[in-house]
Amino acid sequence: MSSTFKISVTKMDFGVSEELSGKVYDTIIIGGGPAGLSAAIYAARYGMSTIIITEEIGGQVGKSGWVENYLGYTRIMGPDLVTKFEEHVKYYNVPIIIDSVENVERDGDLFKVYTLNGDEYTGRTIIIAVGEKKRKLNVPGEDAFNGRGVSYCAPCDAPLFKGKVVAVVGGGDSAASAALLLTEYASKVYLIHRRNQLRAQKYYQDLLLKNPKIEIIWNAVVKELQGDKLLRKAVLQRVDTKEVLELPLDGLFVEIGAEPPIELFKRMGLELSQDGYIKVNHLMETSIQGIYAAGDCIDLTPRDFRQIVVAAGQGALAAYSAYNYIIRRYGFNRR
């Protein structure tokens, strides 16, 4: 069997990256969130030569607040959980390339992976675990104040708003978690939601309603963001009455869901659901033989139940299926 390499590199390490790109891997994992990292651990334990290519390690978990429902941790911050995941993967000496995959093409019995950095990697199988990217509000002022009051990562930026007034846009678990985390720093936290009830699980809802720092603004959407060098206020509109109001703010955190990289999937020729998620069967097999998918980018898990533990389990199953494919097709003595 091929051996793994005892290094972890980034896209800036051009020489090392070139060395790694000259190998044929049993599996190339695209994505470094819970699904991808879990797949890497299982693939390595199966003795498969494995590499991870990802834009960032941890995915959305690294941008999460307190995680209180992952087995083995009663309460841990998302970035800290990612550190644990990464340490586990590095224990198995799986290389992690920080880069963006532009396309995957079949080359005979193999697959070629092309990256934004200009590198090319060859694999016998592919595991797609790219997750989703956070949606934007797409309102005037959002891009102008990005990093100057507008944020998409509460754990990253919450400490910057100590004693300030902030708002979170959204109504799901991620929005609720962000709002609760922000109360540890901000003096006031608004939760802006377009409906009259939240989608977040009851546990979160109870905590929100009990927290004196949090005020929920129901039936409202953000229409515009205004300020000078920094964000100063959000212009809201009531969904029911169409009333327009201004909300003075120092910070706005956007938590309105996410979507997969549909264009990449289309270039690869994968069969997708109507809303752009990869169709898989119970073994994480896609419509292309030798390509597997797991995590938040697949059309299997309910959209409102994107859980770390589910993604990790799917990643393990994808590695299991890739391993069985390798054995059936190449046997144990592949080179």
Given the structure tokens 């000259």, which residue do they identify?
Answer: 22
> Among the options 26, 157, 250, 296, which is catalytic?
157
> Among the options 153, 173, 250, 297, which is catalytic?
153
**Long-range own/partner contacts, residues 242-249 (CB < 8 A, 24 or more apart):** 247/167, 247/190, 247/192, 247/217, 248/165, 249/149, 249/165, 249/166, 249/167, 249/190
Instruction: Respond yes or no: is residue 297 known to be catalytic.
Output: no
List the one residue out of 64, 62, 96, 65 whose CA is nearest residue 82. Answer: 62
Q: How far apart are CA 131 and CA 32, in angstroms?
A: 9
Instruction: Respond yes or no: is residue 107 known to be catalytic.
Output: no
List the one residue out of 325, 321, 311 whose CA is nearest residue 32. Answer: 311
- The H helix count followed by the E strand count for the chain is 8, 19
> Among the options 107, 143, 156, 275, which is catalytic?
156
**What residues are annotated to the active site?**
153, 156-157
